[in-house]
DNA sequence: CTGCACGAATGCATTTTTGCGTTTGCGCAG
DNA sequence: CTGCGCAAACGCAAAAATGCATTCGTGCAG
């Protein structure tokens, strides 16, 4: 979890540049509107060439959302799995998803949310990235399931079951997030995360109940 | 369902053009490889201007997958809902999704699958489109749920429950599709659709069982 | 028939995105 | 220190995608 022992100058500069790019994208979006945000202006404010921008993000939308080109999901998943000791599969998956879901740069969360309020279309972009994260996440879920259902000793959970479980919990979290967001709330605090998981868990159970 | 009473010359030509574009994209992808497929070559073979291509599809990937820019999901959903009379929510949602999921141009299914086998990356593109279809589909699922759970007379199904139900069934269908595809099989026949739904239903039930 | 309204097709300009080869500068071994 | 390897930054050119204005042809009312 802590790779703090000096990530090296190289890594630090890279993080700084990434942060400047995200920051510039969000600021311009707020100041001049999303449609006036151009790659050129963005990269100029971040003091890099337009070409370099694409070394960090696939599009200006991704920069606003803070979704990097490079995919660290696999790393994040394995780290999260080590840290957690859930009692049930449902709890475990929800914790995994909420943990992996939140990225760095908490100082940008506030402004980011403001942009998203003005441009809900941006959220659609997240679906694209879900595709990339799908494989590692599914593997993580499968690990959780085997780890926890060993006690039950019923049939072996397949990758297919993991996929279904993953998407179910993901959908519940999104719905719960939307609910909490509608009723004001910060969403970035520890307390709200607990609330989020609880609401999502309830949603999953209730929906499962309808199946019978 | 049947709007056959002469769609009009205009509509027919439009469909022809769309078909030529899809066809050209798939052919070139198969003949020269996906990376040699260019908009210019594609539109030239379809005998339209490059600019016109983008009136039909958002990208060459979309052309291969046959996903139009214009979103008829809402229309398809309401049509499907009228035609079906499911006994359970699970059945209903699976039928809805499989019905809406399959587009026109069955004659291209074969070649399309061949392209997808060579380039699985393309499937990721579908996630993007799922975003657009989400709202109408969720509404359809909610309709189904209220229609069918009225008998049960338990609590009112919310949009959140519909979202979870939708994604769960969607994930199950994708997993089931992958399974069937791995074990050869055509996937475009009526029989395989039945099989698909059955497998997906089993997956959902089994996964739900793990929650307890 | 004739003319008009409207959607479709197109050309053109601009922006976004990607590929490729070159340069720069951090990290590391000698 | 010093030089080398390698990844990041960059410039440049081509391709992809979008916006806008114009033209063309269908559908339709008079």
Residues in chain A: 212
Residue of A nearest to B179 (CA): A160
Chain B residues touching A164 at Cβ < 8 A? 168, 171-172, 175, 203-204, 207
Alpha-carbon distance of A176 to A53, in angstroms, equals 34
The residue behind tokens 């929906």 is A207
pLDDT of residue A2: 44
Domain boundaries defined on chain A: 1-67, 68-212
| Closest-CA distance of chain B to residue A18, Å | 25
Q: What is the DSSP string of chain B?
A: ----S--HHHHHHHHHHHHHHHHHHHHHHHHH-GGG--HHHHHHHHTS-HHHHHHH-SSHHHHHHT--SS--HHHHHHHHHHH---SSHHHHHHHHHHHHH--S-GGGHHHHHHHHHH-TTHHHHHHHHHHHHHHHHHHHHHHHHHHHHHHHT-SPPPHHHHHHHHHHHHHHHHHHHHHHHHT---SSSHHHHHHHHHHHHHHHHHHHHHH-
Q: Which range has the worst mean pLDDT, A26-40, B47-61, B147-161?
A: B147-161
pLDDT at B26 over 90: yes
pLDDT score, position A1: 44
State the smallest CA–CA distance between residue A198 and chain B in angstroms: 14
Q: Is the CB of B13 under 7 A from strand D?
A: yes
**B204 CA: distance to closest CA in chain A (Å):** 7
Question: Is A175's CB within 8 Å of B160's CB?
Answer: yes
User: When comparing pLDDT for A32 and A185, which is higher?
Assistant: A32
d(CA A202, CA B161): 10
Q: Supply A19's token pair.
A: 């942060």
Q: Is A78 helix (H, G, I), strand (E, B) or coil?
A: helix
pLDDT score of A129: 85
CA of B26 to C1' of D10 (A): 36
Read off the pLDDT of each residue in A173-189 and give the average, rounded to a whole number. 83
The reply to whether B44 Cβ lies less than 7 angstroms from strand D is no
Residue A160: list chain B partners with CB under 8 A.
172, 175-176, 178-179, 203
The two structure tokens encoding residue A72: 């660290």
**Which pLDDT value is given to residue B4?**
47
Q: Which residues contact A119 (CB under 8 A, 6 or more apart)?
A: A29, A34
Q: How many CB pairs under 8 A join A and B?
A: 102
Tokens of B32: 């020269």
- The tens digit of pLDDT for each residue in A115-131 reads 888 888 888 788 888 88
Burial grade of A143 (CB within 10 A; 0-12, 13-18, 19 or more)? middle
pLDDT in tens, A103-116: 777 778 888 888 88
* Chain A residues inside the 8 Å CB shell of B183: none
Q: What is the pLDDT of residue A132?
A: 85
CA closest to A124 among chain B residues? B131
pLDDT tens across B108-166, in order? 888 898 898 888 888 888 888 888 899 999 999 999 999 987 665 556 678 999 999 99
The structure tokens listed for A74 are 């696999």
The chain B residues in contact with chain A (CB within 8 A) are 88-90, 123-124, 127-128, 130-132, 145, 149, 154-155, 157, 159-161, 163-168, 170-172, 174-176, 178-179, 203-211
Q: What is the pLDDT of residue B189?
A: 82
How much is the mean pLDDT over chain B?
88
Question: Residue A134: which of B193, B167, B186, B90 has the closest Cα?
Answer: B167
pLDDT at B2: 46
pLDDT at A10 over 50: yes
Bigger pLDDT: A129 or B172? B172
Lowest average pLDDT, out of A157-161, B16-20, B57-61, goes to A157-161
Fold for B1-67, please state it: Tetracycline Repressor; domain 2 (1.10.357)
Cβ distance of B211 and A207 shorter than 8 Å? no
Examine the pLDDT at B1 and tell me if it is beyond 50: no
Q: What is the pLDDT of residue B88?
A: 95
Q: What integer pLDDT is reported at residue A117 of this predicted model?
A: 85
- Provide the 8-state DSSP code for A36: G
**Closest C-alpha among A203, A211, A201, A190 to residue A90:** A201
Check residues A162 and A75 and name the one with the higher pLDDT: A162
Q: Tell me how far apart the alpha carbons of residues A167 and A80 are, in angstroms, rounded to a whole number.
A: 18
Contact B128 A130 (CB under 8 A): no
pLDDT for A205 equals 96
Kindly tell me if the per-residue pLDDT of B47 is higher than 70: yes
pLDDT cut 70: percent of chain B above it: 92
Q: Strand C: which residues 89-108 of A lie within 7 A (CB)?
A: none
């Amino acid at each position: 979890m802590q790779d703090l022992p000096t990530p090296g100058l190289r890594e630090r500069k890279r993080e700084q540049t990434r942060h400047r790019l995200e920051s510039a994208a969000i600021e311009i979006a707020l100041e001049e509107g999303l449609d006036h945000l151009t790659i050129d202006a963005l990269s100029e404010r971040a003091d890099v060439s337009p070409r370099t921008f694409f070394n960090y993000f696939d599009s200006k939308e991704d920069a606003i959302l803070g979704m990097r080109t490079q995919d660290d999901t696999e790393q994040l998943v394995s780290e999260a799995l080590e840290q957690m000791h859930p009692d049930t599969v449902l709890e475990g998956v929800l914790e995994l998803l909420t943990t992996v879901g939140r990225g760095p740069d908490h100082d940008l969360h506030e402004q980011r949310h403001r942009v998203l309020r003005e441009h809900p279309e941006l959220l659609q972009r997240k679906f694209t990235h879900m595709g990339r994260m799908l494989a590692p996440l599914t593997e993580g879920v499968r690990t959780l399931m085997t780890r926890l259902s060993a006690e039950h000793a019923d049939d072996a959970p397949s990758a297919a079951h993991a996929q279904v479980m993953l998407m179910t919990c993901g959908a519940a979290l999104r719905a719960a997030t939307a609910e909490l967001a509608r009723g004001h709330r910060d969403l970035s605090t520890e307390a709200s995360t607990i609330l989020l998981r609880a609401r999502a868990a309830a949603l999953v159970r209730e929906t499962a109940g309808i199946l019978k």
